[in-house]
Every structure is written in structure tokens, then in C-alpha cells.
């Protein structure tokens, strides 16, 4: 099958490679000419512009967008003015599912199919495949099934049914459903990452009883230091948990590798970005009245890591100084 791919970053480029490995013809475009040239050298058909791409695609055309959310809308508008009824646009980025619903409605008026695909696979997607969460019109999704089938991981064990979910891809519902499921997926990911981080932090502090603590009114005493005398090798724990543990996961695999390479994580500042899905998920929880205490905590932890908590902490420190004359202790001192 033939497909156009716009956006040839690490993920988009590897998707093209996996599709070509599956026998599909890929027409590729990116704002960086070097990215186009690299894939052309591997067998892709190069396009020098959006119009050039459209001219090289057979009808009905299918174009996959693997772009940052900030530029997706502009690209969609440019494409929709040149495509013809029956063509399909697939958004594989991390768009807001509400935007998908609105976009699908606008494009349907022009006879164009819009398909949103939540894509999870990370840096190992080329070899392992991508978990795909798909939203869009049933007939269009069915027509593009060979594309989804090639990108998905495939069955790790013999299939037990005809469900594509066993192969790693699923038509979740109408337009917007794919990115809604991906939004929830990423919110859960936030929570899992936060749980690992908090647990590892507690083990790192298990030797608190071995450390001397300042004795003053500003330092809470450690009442039973004899219970905190453990020098736990956090990196080794992360490794042993990978083998037969209930909390084993791909995320734990990645953490264990990171700790092996950098046991004290000195190459990381601790600033954790959020790409939007966690925020959208909180909004959906509020709209539907679904409580999300764990996932909201994980999201706010990320905000804190980005420095958005600094001023509120300064307010707290100012208030303590004002009402009790408490002198602020320097960072890194005993608690």
C-alpha cells in the first residue's frame, strides 16, 4: 500500500522504515531536507513540498502526520485545500481528542476522512512495533488496515481470536476516540512513573539514621534512627524487580538501564516536562465527574519539577518568618 508521511523525526522516520520493511511505498516530506534525503537513500520516495507529495500519491490518497501538536492544525488546513473526496488524513501525534472531533467534522464536509491514531512505542518502535489506538470512520479505518497491521507489534503469542488488539492495534471508536484512549494511556504513564520515582526516593533515604542532624528549632528530629540504617543499592533493586516481580514493566526496564548507566542520576536536573495529555485528562475527569487523585498528583508533581512551586514555597517561608520569626534554612540542609 502507498502512504505519505509528513514529519520525519525519530518516531516518524522509524515508522517509515517499518512500513517499507512491510512492503509499503512511502512518500515522505519534512521541513528538514536532510531527513528527506536520509529516507530517500533507504528507498522512500522524496517529496519537496506538500503539493509535491500530493501529486505523487495515488487516489484515494492517505497521508500520515507525525508532527508536534503546535503545527498540526496549520498542516491540516494546507492539506485539506488540495486533497479530494475519498482521501484520508491520519494524525499520529499527540493531539487533543476534542480537536480531532472538530477537525473530523470540518474535513467530512469536504469528503475527507480524518483518522486519529494514538501512537505508543518510543525509541524501540522500529523493531518492536507501535501500539496503535485508532479513532475514525469504520470504512476508512478498514481500508487502511494494512498500514496499521504493519506498524503494530504483531502477536507475541498465538492469536486466540480475530481481534486486532492481540496484534497491538485497535479501532477504539469514532473520530477522537483514538486520542482519548491515548490521553488516558499517558495519564496512567504519569502515575506509574511517579510511583517508581517516589518509591526509589524512599529507598535512597533509608540510611537517614546514619546521618547527623542539626539540633535546632528548625529541624525535625528523627525519632528512631536505628530503623533507618540501610544503604540500599537502588540500581540493584530496580534490576531485581525486573525478574518475576509484580511491579516489573517496560518502564522499570528503562529505569534499571538508566540507573546502571548513571547510578546517582547526576546527568539529570529533575525537571520533568508534560506534553498536554495529563492536563486534558484532568479536564475530562472534571467534566465527567470521575475522580483521578493519583493521576492528578502525578501531573502536579511535574508542575513542581518545572519550578512552578518556587514562589508558593517562598510565600510559605515568608509567612513562617513573619508569624514565628523562623529563619530560613539553606537548601540541602537537614529537615
Q: Is the dihedral of CA 317, 318, 324, 326 positive or negative?
A: positive
Q: Are the C-beta atoms of residues 179 and 95 closer than 8 Å to each other?
A: yes
Q: Is the dihedral of CA 48, 51, 55, 57 positive or negative?
A: positive
Residues 319/302/75/30 CA torsion (nearest 10 deg): 130
Q: Is 182 a catalytic residue?
A: yes
Nearest to 100 by CA among 168, 5, 14, 182: 182
Q: Is 198 a catalytic residue?
A: no
> CB-based contacts of 153: which residues, under 8 Å, 6+ apart?
128, 129, 130, 131, 167, 168
Single out the catalytic residue among 189, 239, 309, 329. Answer: 189
d(CA 244, CA 246): 7
d(CA 140, CA 136): 7
Bridge partners, 62 (sequence order): 88
Rg (CA), the chain: 25
Catalytic residues: 182, 189
Amino acid at each position: 500500500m502507498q502512504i505519505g508521511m509528513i514529519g520525519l523525526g525519530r518516531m516518524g522516520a522509524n515508522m517509515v522504515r517499518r512500513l517499507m520493511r512491510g512492503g509499503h511505498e512511502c512518500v515522505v516530506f519534512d521541513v528538514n531536507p536532510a531527513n528527506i534525503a536520509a529516507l530517500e537513500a533507504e528507498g522512500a520516495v522524496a517529496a519537496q513540498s506538500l503539493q509535491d507529495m500530493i501529486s505523487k500519491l495515488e487516489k484515494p490518497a492517505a497521508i500520515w502526520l507525525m508532527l508536534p501538536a503546535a503545527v498540526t492544525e496549520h498542516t491540516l488546513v494546507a492539506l485539506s485545500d488540495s486533497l479530494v473526496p475519498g482521501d484520508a488524513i491520519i494524525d499520529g501525534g499527540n493531539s487533543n481528542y476534542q480537536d480531532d472531533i472538530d477537525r473530523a467534522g470540518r474535513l467530512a464536509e469536504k469528503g475527507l476522512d480524518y483518522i486519529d491514531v494514538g501512537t505508543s512505542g518510543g525509541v524501540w518502535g522500529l523493531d518492536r512495533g507501535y501500539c496503535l489506538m485508532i479513532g475514525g470512520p469504520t470504512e476508512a479505518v478498514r481500508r487502511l488496515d494494512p498500514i496499521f497491521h504493519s506498524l503494530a507489534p504483531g502477536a507475541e503469542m498465538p492469536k486466540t481470536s480475530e481481534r486486532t488488539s492481540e496484534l497491538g492495534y485497535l479501532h477504539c471508536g469514532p473520530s477522537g476516540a483514538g486520542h482519548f484512549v491515548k490521553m488516558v494511556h499517558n495519564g496512567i504513564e504519569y502515575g506509574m512513573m511517579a510511583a517508581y520515582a517516589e518509591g526509589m526516593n524512599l529507598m535512597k533515604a533509608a540510611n537517614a539514621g546514619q546521618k547527623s542532624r542539626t539540633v535546632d528549632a528548625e529541624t525535625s528530629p528523627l525519632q528512631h534512627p536505628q530503623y533507618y540504617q540501610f544503604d540500599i543499592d537502588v540500581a540493584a533493586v530496580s534490576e531485581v524487580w525486573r525478574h518475576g516481580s509484580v511491579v516489573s514493566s517496560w518502564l522499570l526496564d528503562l529505569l534499571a538501564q538508566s540507573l546502571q548507566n548513571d547510578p546517582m542520576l547526576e546527568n539529570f536536573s529533575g525537571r520533568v516536562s508534560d506534553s498536554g495529555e495529563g492536563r486534558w485528562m484532568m479536564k475530562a475527569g472534571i467534566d465527567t465527574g470521575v475522580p483521578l487523585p493519583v493521576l492528578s498528583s502525578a501531573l502536579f508533581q511535574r508542575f513542581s519539577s518545572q519550578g512552578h512551586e518556587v514562589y508558593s514555597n517562598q510565600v510559605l517561608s515568608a509567612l513562617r518568618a513573619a508569624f514565628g520569626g523562623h529563619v530560613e534554612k539553606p537548601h540541602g540542609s537537614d529537615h
